[in-house]
């Protein structure tokens, strides 16, 4: 039986999750899928310019796992760019670095860190102890990973 996949820490949710080449009809396009953690690996390494050790620390994975995630993402992007394919960003094994919650009883809002979400996710409001709480989307458009 394989080991369970560790949750990867993601600090940023992409606001746009679909890209396609201009001038090609959608029904004719092949599509590839990048996971949210693959996009995070590209953001940290290529956009932020962090070294692989620091990127791995931020995502809470080993350096070899980070290297594998980054390699997979770069291969998929190269395929899309050079072969005229569309790509979609969705899914994966990740949790946001900070998750926001709101209590439906008293309206109190708070944030929970990645480490806490993995080990002890909130079950009630820290203000009034009501169990009627909801997870808020990471930004105003509300795109989510559909896990919880």
pLDDT digits (tens, 9 = 90+) for 120-141: 889 999 999 999 999 887 653 3
Q: What is the pLDDT of residues 73-96, one digit of tens each?
A: 999 999 999 999 999 999 998 888
Residue showing tokens 């960003």: 89
* Predicted local confidence at residue 51, as pLDDT: 96
Asked if residues 28 and 20 have their Cβ atoms less than 8 Å apart, the reply is: no
Ramachandran area for residue 23 (φ above 0: left; ψ -120 to 50: alpha; else beta): left
Q: What is the pLDDT of residues 98-108, one digit of tens each?
A: 888 999 999 99
Is 36 strand, coil or helix? Answer: helix
How much is the average pLDDT of 43-51? Answer: 96
pTM of the model: 0.76
């Amino acid at each position: 039986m394989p080991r369970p996949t560790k949750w990867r820490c993601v600090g940023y949710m992409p606001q746009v999750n679909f890209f396609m080449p201009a001038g090609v009809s959608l029904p004719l396009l092949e599509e590839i899928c990048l996971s949210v953690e693959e996009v995070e690996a590209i953001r940290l390494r290529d956009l932020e310019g962090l070294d692989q050790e620091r990127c791995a620390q931020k995502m809470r994975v080993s350096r070899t796992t980070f290297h594998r995630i980054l390699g997979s993402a770069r291969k998929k992007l190269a395929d899309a760019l050079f072969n005229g394919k569309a790509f979609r960003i969705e899914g994966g094994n990740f949790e946001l670095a900070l998750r926001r919650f709101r209590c439906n009883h008293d309206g109190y809002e708070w944030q929970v860190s990645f480490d806490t979400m993995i080990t002890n996710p909130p079950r009630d409001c820290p203000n009034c102890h009501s169990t009627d709480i909801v997870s808020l989307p990471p930004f105003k458009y509300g795109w989510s990973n559909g896990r919880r």
